[in-house]
Amino acid sequence: MRHFVTAAASFRVDSDDRAVAFPLGTDWVVCVADGTGGAAGAAAAAAMFVDSAQGTVRGGAFSLGEPAAWVRLLEDIDREIARHPAAGETTGIALAVTGGAVVGASAGDSRAWVFGAGATELTGDQVRKPRLGTGRAQPRSFSAPARGTLVVGSDGLFDHAALADIAAIAQAPPSADAGNALIGLLRARYRQLPDDVAVVIGWLDAG
């Protein structure tokens, strides 16, 4: 059975980062967004991304296993955020663990990795700018076998923690505290968190 946990932390009162993971039948859906730069509307943009992605995939007509469907979803959300008068810009990753694959799309600099026998970045081909909310984002799809441990996080995690340390936590036995352990890597290194952090960790082939 697959297991997923989320965690988030901020160095301020309100975070601009969002992370969700939820089951959809026998599948799982993961969304991570990082409202960028602390600019006006950053948190609103990240919340819109997560809410819109959830609403679409829960609607029942979305093709979870089709990479092109995820690209279209992010393009639609990009335009939706751009039209909103109070929303700024955000990164976004939305994916499904469906059947034997991890399938999704991303735009910006949040990242998704799978750790198993090695380490594979799913978001290596993503385009960082323009971000979602500009109406000009360029989402890129990805697909990989659903084996190992999935870590999806904002740049607050991946820019400030060593990949080897992230991998060590990901490759340990499943734990409800694993998300907080990833954030703990930053707390151990810095007196104050250097950035907002939101993360999802999922064991894709857990027993």
Quick one: angle between helices 163-170 and 178-189, nearest 10?
A: 150
Q: What is the pLDDT of residues 4-50, one digit of tens each?
A: 999 999 988 789 999 999 999 999 999 999 998 667 799 999 999 99
Tokens of 129: 């700018």
CATH number at 7 reads 3.60.40.10
High-pLDDT (> 70) share of the chain, %: 98
Task: Domain of residue 25: give its range.
Answer: 3-203
SS3 158: helix
- pTM confidence score: 0.96
pLDDT at residue 12, rounded to an integer: 85
The average pLDDT across 94-121 equals 97
Which helix (H) or strand (E) is 56 found in, with range? helix 42-57
Tell me the C-alpha distance between 7 and 161, whole Å: 15
- Count of structural domains, the chain: 1
pLDDT in tens, 195-206: 999 999 999 986
**Distance from C-alpha of 19 to C-alpha of 42, rounded to nearest angstrom:** 15
